[in-house]
Amino acid sequence: MRAQTAIRLRLLLCATCAAAALHGVTARATDRVIQHRQFQLEQQQDALNFQLQQSIRGRASQLAPEDARRLDTLQLQQRLEYQQLEQQQLQRELSLRRQAPHDTPRLEAQRDRFAQERQLELQRFELDRQRLLQSMPRQPLQPPLDAGRLR
């Protein structure tokens, strides 16, 4: 009877240890999924902010048609570059997760660097936009008077 009780206790202990180990593995996997999802959400938030900035600025109505096209082309190029940056960051993040899946501080530091990279890219985009606008000829503050109108 004692032997059977001891065996049952050992089996119960093994089952408890297995459940705890499984829970630990599951918890770590869940943490990684949550961290990855949080990284993706940060990327999406920055992308939305970028799109919002571009749409708010929109097309300057006082620009000549060819200048407006140049501005549209710049904004399209910037969107493509931003998408490339996001893809590169995603690939680097996945690579680090494969190399060091349990190194949470390293992953968090990398996520912070990624956020800084995205902010720097947005600042560069704004500078490029300002340079382009400054290089364009200024439009008169008032439309020119029509020929034949009294002054």
Domain count, the chain: 1
Task: Tell me, yes or no, whether 67 lies in a domain.
Answer: yes
What average pLDDT does this structure show over 102-120? 91
Task: Tell me, yes or no, whether 95 lies in a domain.
Answer: yes
What average pLDDT does this structure show over 67-96? 93
Mean per-residue pLDDT of the chain: 81
Task: Tell me, yes or no, whether 11 lies in a domain.
Answer: no
What average pLDDT does this structure show over 29-52? 82
Half-sphere exposure of 38 (CA within 13 A, CB side): 11
Domain residues for the domain of 130 are: 36-135
Query: Residue 91 in contact with residue 110, Cβ under 8 Å?
Result: no
Query: Residue 42 in contact with residue 111, Cβ under 8 Å?
Result: yes
Task: Tell me, yes or no, whether 31 lies in a domain.
Answer: no
Task: Tell me, yes or no, whether 79 lies in a domain.
Answer: yes
Task: Tell me, yes or no, whether 17 lies in a domain.
Answer: no
Determine the pLDDT at residue 145: 66
Query: Residue 97 in contact with residue 39, Cβ under 8 Å?
Result: no
CA-based nearest residue to 82, from 51, 52, 103, 128: 51
What are the φ/ψ torsions at residue 63 (nearest 5 degrees)?
A: -85, 145
Task: Tell me, yes or no, whether 23 lies in a domain.
Answer: no
Task: Tell me, yes or no, whether 47 lies in a domain.
Answer: yes
Predicted confidence (pLDDT) at residue 113 exceeds the cutoff of 60: yes
Determine the pLDDT at residue 25: 52
pTM of the model: 0.68
